[in-house]
């Protein structure tokens, strides 16, 4: 069986993505793709990983886990998609010890062991630290960025370091990465990649992320434009999306304003430039696929 594990990150489009997957669940079921409800496994998986620590999972752990997660008989499922943005940690301890998600590699190594007889894939959304860090702080009871980062300098937040640890912990496991900022343009492609279906597979809600940041008039005109041009391919549709977003995107939904001590335009610029360099490095890592518009 193929096991797809979506691990967040925090403050990306995790919930929206999972809701879109659920909208397509019945259609995917016909192809042997299972999308279990999160209530069936998120707490169970977290408690199991906390209890195991570095211990080796007992024989039969996989079967017990699947019995708890799947509604369908396991032999009728070829691909299972699990989404758990708190898999690495809850937000307030994301930088515990001054390290980015310090338990990420350990937890994925344990899950790799549990699903040793399966084909595991990991999906992770990244986000510009310039907007990620203030948003993550707002999701915690902590009062300052220093409390969140445990002494780590914001400029030391390099996602490539996290991805390097993950690929070293689970060698041979494919890792798919995308930028949360690009989600509106690649939403349909993301859902297809999660499901492992053809690029032409119809997706319900393929433009829902675009609709979140576009005016109602803009989306009405966009859908009418596509309806009149059914011959457009994915590359052409994406160009159309960019054009409509340029004209109809709601600035209040795409601009981020954070009032943090010491958080000035220079730091935001430096973090953004470093983020772009980091993405270039990540895109060149063996075993890592970076989905970009």
Say if residues 252 and 212 touch (Cβ distance below 8 Å): no
Per-residue pLDDT of the chain (293 residues; tens, 9 = 90+): 999 999 999 999 878 999 999 999 999 998 999 999 888 889 999 999 988 888 888 888 998 889 888 876 556 899 999 999 999 999 999 999 999 999 999 999 999 999 999 999 999 999 999 999 999 999 999 999 999 999 899 999 999 999 999 999 999 999 999 999 999 999 999 999 999 999 888 999 999 999 999 999 999 999 999 999 999 988 899 999 999 999 999 887 776 666 688 788 899 999 999 999 999 999 999 999 999 98
What does the alpha-carbon distance between residue 260 and residue 285 come to, in Å, rounded to a whole number? 34
Instruction: Look at residue 87 in the predicted model and tell me its pLDDT.
Output: 95
Q: All domains of the chain, ordered by start, with CATH?
A: 2-213+250-291 (3.40.50)
Q: ∠ CA(286), CA(196), CA(290), 5° rounding?
A: 35
């Amino acid at each position: 069986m193929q096991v797809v594990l979506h691990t967040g990150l925090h403050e990306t489009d995790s919930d929206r993505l999972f809701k879109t997957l659920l909208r397509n669940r019945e259609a995917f079921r016909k192809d042997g793709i299972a999308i279990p409800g999160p209530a069936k496994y998120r707490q169970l998986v977290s408690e199991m990983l906390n209890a195991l620590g570095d211990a080796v999972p007992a024989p039969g752990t996989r079967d017990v886990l699947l019995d708890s997660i799947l509604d369908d008989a396991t032999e009728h499922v070829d691909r299972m998609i699990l989404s758990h943005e708190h898999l690495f940690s809850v937000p307030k301890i994301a930088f515990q010890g001054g390290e980015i998600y310090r338990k990420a590699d350990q937890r994925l190594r344990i899950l790799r062991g549990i699903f040793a007889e399966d084909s595991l894939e990991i999906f992770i959304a990244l986000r510009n630290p310039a907007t990620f860090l203030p948003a993550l702080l707002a999701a915690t009871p902590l009062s300052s960025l220093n409390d969140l980062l445990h002494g780590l300098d914001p400029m030391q937040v390099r996602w490539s370091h996290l991805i390097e640890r993950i690929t070293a912990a689970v060698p041979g496991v494919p890792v798919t990465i995308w930028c949360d900022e690009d989600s509106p343009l690649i939403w349909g492609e993301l859902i297809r990649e999660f499901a492992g279906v053809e690029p032409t597979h119809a997706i319900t809600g393929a433009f829902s992320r675009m609709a979140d940041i576009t005016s109602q008039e803009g989306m009405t005109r966009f859908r009418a434009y596509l309806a009149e041009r059914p011959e457009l391919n994915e590359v052409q549709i994406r160009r159309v999306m960019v054009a409509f977003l340029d004209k109809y995107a709601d600035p209040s939904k795409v601009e981020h304003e954070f009032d943090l001590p010491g958080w000035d335009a220079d730091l935001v610029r430096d973090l953004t430039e470093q983020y772009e360099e980091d993405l270039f490095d990540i895109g060149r890592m063996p075993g890592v696929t970076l989905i970009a518009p």
